[in-house]
């Protein structure tokens, strides 16, 4: 197998200083970086350079972030990491629903950014859906539809399993309430967020060590849930 090339990241942000800082951070993390200043030039660059990951700021001067994302998704499945400011939950959810893979709220630390990028690229490279996923002490056998915690079989209802599976195949990625509800309960249940709370409580009860201080099943305030290695 050939050595994988050094991943190319495309940065779309209108602030020079942010771009400079991110470039330093990302190049320090061993990636190649290309830059674009506007939504329109970002789309052109993405088409020309075929980057492995796009980092997209939601507050661009020419196009609204979700619109850039929608146009990108018309022809590309490249993973997209969104940058946004606090308070812009609506935009974030819109972008996630429109196909973004993850988000970061400004201001953020360089370490956090690199961690997110790593997870996203790994998932990208994993390609095909695996047969089994392990998160911390939790093992999910997708083929056998069996869940074990530290080797002990855990009994889950059908909906609980579907919920867990959805988070697991998107491990490390924030999934919005809407996405979960639509996937498991159907489009009509999109507003029934209390289902999620109840099922999340069940999952934590069965799979977390301390359900009141969850380590793996984390809540994204006002947005959704994420399953990660803690």
Residues engaged in binding other proteins (CB under 8 A): 86-87, 89-90, 107, 157-159, 177, 192-201, 211-214, 219, 221-222
Of the two residues 42 and 214, which places its CB atom closer to other proteins in the complex?
A: 214
Q: Indicate the SS3 state at residue 109.
A: coil
As a whole number of angstroms, the longest Cα–Cα distance in the chain is 54
Q: Which is nearer to other proteins, 7 or 66 (CB)?
A: 66
Choice between 134 and 185, CB closer to other proteins: 185
Residue closer to other proteins by CB (options 135, 203) is: 203
What lies within 8 Å, CB to CB, of 102 at 6+ separation is 79, 81, 82, 116, 119, 120, 172, 173, 174
To other proteins, the closest distance from the beta carbon of 89 in angstroms equals 6
List alpha helices for the chain, DSSP H. Answer: 16-28, 39-49, 65-73, 89-97, 110-126, 158-169, 177-184, 193-207
Smallest separation (angstroms) from other proteins to the CB of 43: 30
Q: In the bound complex, what is the minimum distance in angstroms from residue 85's beta carbon to other proteins? A: 9
CB 216 within 8 A of CB 228: yes
| Minimum CB distance to other proteins, residue 99 (Å) | 21
């Amino acid at each position: 197998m050939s050595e994988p090339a050094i991943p190319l990241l495309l940065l779309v942000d209108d602030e020079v200083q942010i771009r400079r800082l991110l470039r330093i951070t990302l190049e320090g993390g061993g990636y190649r970086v290309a830059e674009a200043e506007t939504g329109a030039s970002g789309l052109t660059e993405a088409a020309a350079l075929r980057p492995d990951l796009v980092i997209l700021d939601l507050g661009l001067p020419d196009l609204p972030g979700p619109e850039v994302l929608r146009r990108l998704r018309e022809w590309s499945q490249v993973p997209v990491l969104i940058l946004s400011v606090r308070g812009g939950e609506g935009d974030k959810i819109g972008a996630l629903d429109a196909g973004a893979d993850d988000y970061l709220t400004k201001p953020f630390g360089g370490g956090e950014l690199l961690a997110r990028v790593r997870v996203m690229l790994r998932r990208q490279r994993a390609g095909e859906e695996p047969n089994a996923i392990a998160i911390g002490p939790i093992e999910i056998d997708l083929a056998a539809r069996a869940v074990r915690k530290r080797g002990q079989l855990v009994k889950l209802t059908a909906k609980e399993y579907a919920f867990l599976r959805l988070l697991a195949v998107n491990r490390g990625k924030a999934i919005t309430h809407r996405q979960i509800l639509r996937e498991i309960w159907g489009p009509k249940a999109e507003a029934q967020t209390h289902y999620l709370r109840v099922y999340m409580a069940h999952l934590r009860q069965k799979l977390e060590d301390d359900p009141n201080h969850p380590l793996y099943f984390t809540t994204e305030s006002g947005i959704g849930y994420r399953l990660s290695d803690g």
